[in-house]
Amino acid sequence: MSRVENVDIILPVSIALSLASSDPPQSFPAQPAVYALLDASRRPLLLATTADLRHALRRRLSPDSRTTDDAPRIDYRSITREVRYRRVGSAFAANWWYYRSARAWFPDHYRGMLGWRDAWFIHVNPDESFPHFQNGTNPTGGVDLCWGPLPSRSSSQTLIHALEDIFDLCRYYEIFRQAPHARACAYKDMGKCPAPCDGSITVDAYRARIREAVEFLSTSTRRPDRPASTRSEIGTFSRDGGAAAETALPWRRGIEQAMRAAARRMDFHLAAHLQDKLRRFHELEDPAFTHLRCLDQWAYLAIERGRTAHWIEPFLVEADRIEPWPEVAVPDVASACARWATRIARRATVNRAAGRSVPTQEVVRLLAHHLFRRGETGLYIPVGDDTDAPTLASRLAGWLKKRKTAEIVDMNIYNTSTADRQKPGAVL
């Protein structure tokens, strides 16, 4: 498939322009859309999203050549011969189809055209010679286990420091790599590190601690009784009315019991150390950790407003792909949930058979952008092979009930003061 044919599918509607016409045709809808202006050779002049396509084209293709802010206005009217577009109903859909168009037209520099900030992740390979948790903006695959997304570098560091304190992990990787011939740091004397660096425990024994931390993260992100996207994946944070919903984790219970036992025998130094561990659990109740999941189980059903307020549009989002599904009329969502659950279970089975996939950074960043976006109107449900139709229907019913028809319209993505938004780096 050629590049032009690919974009023809992504932006399926095309209308040719004539120099004789003074205004864009009335056939352009006054609706949100992703659109592109093409020249006579079908080369892209502009790629943008808009809340009102008709108004945006009138403004872009106006013959008025006045300058703005000392910068000459580009005369698109004289060089544009075709407009391609796709109608959208939500910020998520607009960003997805814009990304697809930019990647198809500009494969070498489309990343600079995306306006989404980086999401952060932590990752570890428990089987490497000297395992340790690291953070970064690139979701890793292969032998590394990776968790995310996190909204900032500081939140990823907070998570790593919490794991270090809860499981007494090494803080200084440079010293750890000298094991067992290094000189231990002060954390050994404070009783906060088992010191594999000087041979106090073997690296294999320390590797077991890393695996315990991995199990902690993995178990905490797979709790079947946790309402999806409403409670912190680890800890007890809940967005439902702001009330904390206690998550009974064996690690936390064990630390609490050990702290009480230490206090009864008046070992106050140990009790204070265990209390510090519990304080780290409380730090993980922050909303920054609400969407933390292992990328091996990273799958969401994104529910967005359709092209009209009476329709909704689902997207299956995985770490390496986004799959748009057909729009569904609001009265038909109950039957649609059964179909979605079947497709999700089938996809989970296929993914397990295929093994790990390599995460796609732009896909993960796009979903993270919407998960952490203030005023987000979409619904994002973590899913797996055990996701059933009643769970989806319940979540969807609650989402629809909270929003009136006008409130479902996602205008926050669009700059309504100027009617359309040109993404950073769009090629002119």
Q: Inform me whether the pLDDT recorded for 235 exceeds 80.
A: no
**How large is the average pLDDT for residues 214-237?**
49
Query: Is 382 in contact with 228 (CB distance < 8 Å)?
Result: yes
- Position 327 scores a pLDDT of 95
Report the pLDDT value the prediction gives residue 269, as an integer from 0 to 100.
73
128-161 per-position pLDDT tens digit:
999 999 999 988 766 788 999 999 999 999 999 9
The ranges assigned to domains in the chain are: 3-87, 120-293, 298-408
Question: What's the pLDDT score for residue 182?
Answer: 92
For the ranges 1-5, 187-191, 247-251, 393-397, the lowest mean pLDDT is seen at: 1-5
Residue 201 has pLDDT above 90, yes or no: yes
Q: How far apart are CA 184 and CA 196, in angstroms?
A: 8
Distances in whole angstroms, Cα of residue 363 to Cα of each of 116, 137, 383: 11, 13, 17
Confidence of residue 417 (pLDDT cuts 50, 70, 90): very low
Helix (H) or strand (E) holding 84: strand 82-87
pTM for the full predicted model: 0.80
pLDDT band per the 50, 70, 90 thresholds, residue 116: confident
Q: Are 45 and 37 in contact (CB under 8 A)?
A: yes
**Mean of per-residue pLDDT scores for the chain:** 80
Of 54-63, 306-315, 388-397, minimum mean pLDDT range: 54-63
Which pLDDT band, with edges at 50, 70 and 90, does 424 fall under? very low
